[in-house]
A and B are shown apart, each in its own frame.
Chain A
Amino acid sequence: QVQLVQSGAEVKKPGASVKVSCKASGYTFSNYVIHWVRQAPGQRPEWMGWIHAGNGVIQHSQEFQDRVTFTTDSSATTVYMELSSLRSEDTAVFYCARDPPGSGYYDYWGQGTLVTVSS
């Protein structure tokens, strides 16, 4: 069955970076785009960008463009999101989500990774 399993919770200081992993299984990894979504407590989800797991093509939200890096490791069927220059408003749950080819909606989501930014 399709699974996206994310790395565990992180606590970071302002100005630091965080790297979150998303391990995929149960489907052909290279055929799909993986999106990243930030959800602050009590807020709506916020789209950060996507990476194509097969060819590494990337698109970022302008909101995060200068601070976020997406990478992929095909041998490990894992996608990574690194967010730098963390600030308090980055305290949120970060999700990876799968986008079926030719669609745009998200049919499977990771369980989420809580990142807490605090001095």
Chain B
Amino acid sequence: DIVMTQSPDSLAVSLGERATINCKSSQSVFHNSYSKSCLAWYQQKPGQPPKLLIYWASTRESGVPDRFSGSGSGTDFTLTISSLQAEDVAVYYCHQYYNYPRTFGQGTKLEI
């Protein structure tokens, strides 16, 4: 199984400042056929399902504010929130869909 490890486990950032969350996979999730990394980021608020933010490591889902961006390839990935807003308080998960079983990171709790 591909193990997804996020860092840090929790993060406190001031409003308007940058937040950076890292995700490392135990093996490469780069898909040669697609020439893309099979890595997604989700945001989960209490009592809600996860919400898709980023897929293919760096493609922003429609409707997601452009302060959210994803980067990285292979085994190392980053989710960046350029200017933190109050509504961004949540737990963030990375997710690999390169092979089975699909696996998720342990989550990063983002606070103000």
Contacts and interface: CB of A to CB of B under 8 A. Distances in A.
A104 B39 CA distance: 9
Interface string A28-56: 00000001000000001111000000000
A107 B61 contact: yes
A109 B95 contact: no
Residues of B contacting A: mostly: loop
Nearest to B106: A44
Residues of A contacting B: mostly: loop
Interface stretch (B13-21, B49-57, B81-89): B49-57
A107 B100 contact: no
Interface residues of B, number: 23
B50 A109 contact: yes
Interface in B60-79: 61
A110 to B, nearest CB: 7
Interface stretch (A12-20, A58-66, A68-76): A58-66
6 contacts: A45-B104, A95-B49, A104-B97, A104-B98, A106-B95, A111-B49
The 8 nearest A-B residue pairs measured at CB = A104-B97, A109-B49, A47-B102, A105-B40, A105-B55, A44-B104, A61-B101, A45-B104
